[in-house]
Each structure stands twice: as C-alpha cells, then as structure tokens.
Amino acid sequence: MLKQSILNKKTGIITYGMTPPKNTHTPEKIEEISQKQIERLAGLDIDALILYDVQEEADRIDEERPFPYLPTLDPEIYSKQYLASLDIPKIIYRCVGKYSEAELAEWLKKETEQQRYTVFVGASSSQQQVQLQLSDAYRLSKQHNDQMTFGGVIIPERHMKKNDEHIRVVDKMQRGCDFFVSQATYNVEASKNFLSDYYHHCQQHELDMVPILFNLAPCGSTKTLEFMKWLGISIPKWLENELKFSSDVLDKSIQLTQKIFEELLEFGLEKGIPVGCSIESVSTRKVEIEASIEMVKDIKSMLDRKQLVDAVR
C-alpha cells in the first residue's frame, strides 16, 4: 500500500514520471515502447511510477508550442494493459477539468477494494473551459473511494508572485491531499521560499506536513530548454545562460539540477520537512531519457547518504 510503503516514509520518497505513448500508435508500437520502458525501470529502486494525463494547454500562453501537442493513451489504460509486469505502485494523474462529474465518479468507483493512487490536476489557466473543479474532484474521491490516496500539484514559482502557495497547499491538505508534486525545479530560491513558509505555517497551526516531491528533469538541448520555458518552468537567467553557453548542455543541467535538489533536501532535513523528488524526461530523445534514468540512481545515492548522516547527528 502506498500509504505505508511510501507516505509513511515521508522524507526521501523518489518516483519516476513519464507520459504514455501517443494514442495514434498501433498496439504493436505501444507494446514495443512499453517493453523498452519496463527494461529501463525494472532495476531502479523507486517508490512509485507516475503516469501523466496530458492536456493541450494552448490557452495558457500565446507563444507557439515548441513541440506539437499529440494526444496520448489514457494513463490508467497504459498502466494496466502494458505496464502490469512492472511491480511498483502507479500514480495516475487526472486533469479533472476534462471529465464530467459522472465520468470521474465512475473512475473512482472502480476497484474500491484496492489501494489506488492519483494526482488531481486543475485547469492550466483561468481561461481554460472545464467541466469539473479541483474541489469537486476532492469531494468525489472522498465520497466514492476512501481507498484512493490522492495528491496535488504545487508551483513554487507562483509563490514568488503571490506568496500564498503554502496556503493553497494547506487548503488542499485539509481536503484530503496526502502529498504534492512540483513542476520541474530549476529555481532554488522560489522552492526554498515556499518550503520555509510551508514549514512555519504548519508549525504555527500545529499541522502535520505531508511530503513535497520536487520534480527533476534534465535538459539536453536548447529546444528542450524552450519547451520547458513554454511549460511555465521558471529558469533563472543565470542558469539559462549556463545551459545555453555550455559545451555540454545535458551534463550541465544534470549538475545544476542535482545541486538544487541537494540544497532543498538539506533544508528539509534541517527542519524536518518531508522532501522527496520525482524524476522525468520532458523530451522523448533517447539521450535525455537515459540521462533521467541515471539521475534516479545518483539521486537515490544522495538520499541514502544524506539520510544516513542525518540519522547519526
């Protein structure tokens, strides 16, 4: 069960995230893709696999999308039909706005005797037309499936502008969110500001903190960098320059990302904030996917080392 094997672990949770294949692929092609992914993930020591539910987000920004939007296979279908042999918990993302109340309720009611895991994602912008709000998804989950462990999304960069991301998180915790996953983390100041306010707010109100998983994603090219910025990932100017003018963009991004997470982990360990991470490749390029797999191993070693040091203090 996720609540026991992962959430009770709190600090040091590590997950891997990926997007299902395009739904226009043939079953044979999807099977081929899934087998490669299973081979990559089979030997990794991760707590769960995240499968994304992709939405177009065209109304979020006026700029043209660097990579074309291509509808993907439903993450739960992909999990059950193609990744069943991968014996790790699967966390299924749900962009709730594209479902009706009846559709989401029907999904929630399935397999209620089993422990299931999801992350509910809201609208990508205030302009997006939605059928269902996040608050409705939380209510329906509690109403129809008390075995569902659900999480939410945090955007530390939004905290730099509004200073209320910790309040949003606490509100979602009180509605039942057991953990949170950030978007790709390249802005350490924004993330530490959020963690600090989150910690002190919970201390002042005697609230138990839930795990915060910071998303880590290697950047292997200027094209991937453009896509990350289009997605709304906050990349400080100095860091963007370090990547753009590096002789090896991928290696530089890995170095910088790991340093950022190490700083966030140490900050969390010092204050008892349950910090973990989720690693992914936002690109479909083989070199970036393989780099993300190696990053899992490196981060796992870092987590083990830091926790060992923290335990003997």
Largest CA distance in the chain: 55
> Which residue is associated with the tokens 């200073």?
163
Q: Per-residue confidence at 122, pLDDT binned at 50, 70, 90?
A: confident
- Nearest alpha-carbon partner for 94 in 66, 123, 65, 70: 123
Q: What is the C-alpha to C-alpha distance for residues 95 and 116, in angstroms, rounded to an integer?
A: 16
CB-based burial, 167-180: b 16+ in 10 Å, e otherwise: ebbbebbebbbbbb
Q: What is the CA radius of gyration of the chain?
A: 19
Interhelix angle for 134-144 vs 101-109, to 10°? 40
Q: What is the pTM of this model?
A: 0.90
Q: Which helix (H) or strand (E) holds 15?
A: strand 14-18
Dihedral sign (CA 184, 187, 192, 198): negative
Q: What is the pLDDT of residue 73?
A: 94
Q: What is the C-alpha to C-alpha distance for residues 77 and 66, in angstroms, rounded to an integer?
A: 28
- Nearest alpha-carbon partner for 35 in 71, 89, 76, 85: 85
Q: What is the C-alpha to C-alpha distance for residues 261 and 186, in angstroms, rounded to an integer?
A: 9
Q: What is the mean pLDDT of the chain?
A: 89
Q: Per-residue confidence at 125, pLDDT binned at 50, 70, 90?
A: low
Q: What is the pLDDT of residue 163?
A: 84
- Nearest alpha-carbon partner for 265 in 309, 207, 203: 309
